[in-house]
Amino acid sequence: MNCTGCGTWSCSSRDGRYPEGCPTAHPTPVQAQALREAREAYEDPRVRAVAHAAAWTEKTGYCKWTRLEETVEFARRLNYRRIGIACCVGLRREGNVVARVFRDCGFEVHSVICPVGAIPKDEIGVPDEAQFKPGTGEPMCNPIGQAALLAAEECDLNVVVGLCVGHDALFLGESFRRGVPATVLVAKDRATGHNPAAAIYCAQTYFAARLASHSSKEDRG
């Protein structure tokens, strides 16, 4: 599949100009099965409710609401009461602001930072070269623990505030596994002030050389 390079995006416009290899108009057997299963998933009342609320939020706040406002209104649309915030310890101040906004909007808020539980990285076999201070019992980020604690508090919706790449993947997966929908409010990017889109918009100018330095196919271990 190469949807980003399609050029027609007829699945959105429905103008009938579907290119060869389009999974909407010309799916392989595997793709057709995947799409059938996806369509069936929307028969689940909980999934359908989230999809409806997402569509309403998109239409109502289009180009008017910030992502923070969208998250507030999305939660209200679903009559959620408890909001969980999974926050990076490095963005604890930002997380505190987000928590205050949700509380001011009438939600009950539970927040948990990434090193919760203070599990040493050595415990899961993280090698010294992947630690900042080897031999000190350096605590690992614990996104599984964050999801578990927020589920234990019976949160209706979890909001990610600046979890690292990889840690966010673990958190989102575990949150979903435990039946709590989750959304990302802040994507961690220390180099751009947590604005990862900056590297995309400047991929052929300011960030071109930096991005090219990662294109090597050498084995990085």
Per-residue model confidence as pLDDT tens digits over 171-200: 999 999 999 999 999 999 999 999 999 999
Give the pair of three-digit tokens for residue 97. 């602001």
As beta bridge partners, residue 183 has: 159
Per-residue model confidence as pLDDT tens digits over 112-138: 999 999 999 999 999 999 999 999 999
Q: Residue 43, class by beta-carbon neighbours within 10 Å (0-12 exposed, 13-18 middle, 19+ buried)?
A: exposed
Strand residues in 23-144 grouped as ranges (E): 82-87, 108-113
Q: Is 94 within 8 Å of 70 (Cβ atoms)?
A: no
Strand residues in the chain grouped as ranges (E): 82-87, 108-113, 157-161, 182-186
Alpha-carbon span 89 to 116, nearest angstrom: 9
pTM here is: 0.91
Per-residue model confidence as pLDDT tens digits over 7-64: 898 999 889 899 988 999 999 999 999 999 999 999 999 999 999 999 999 999 999 9
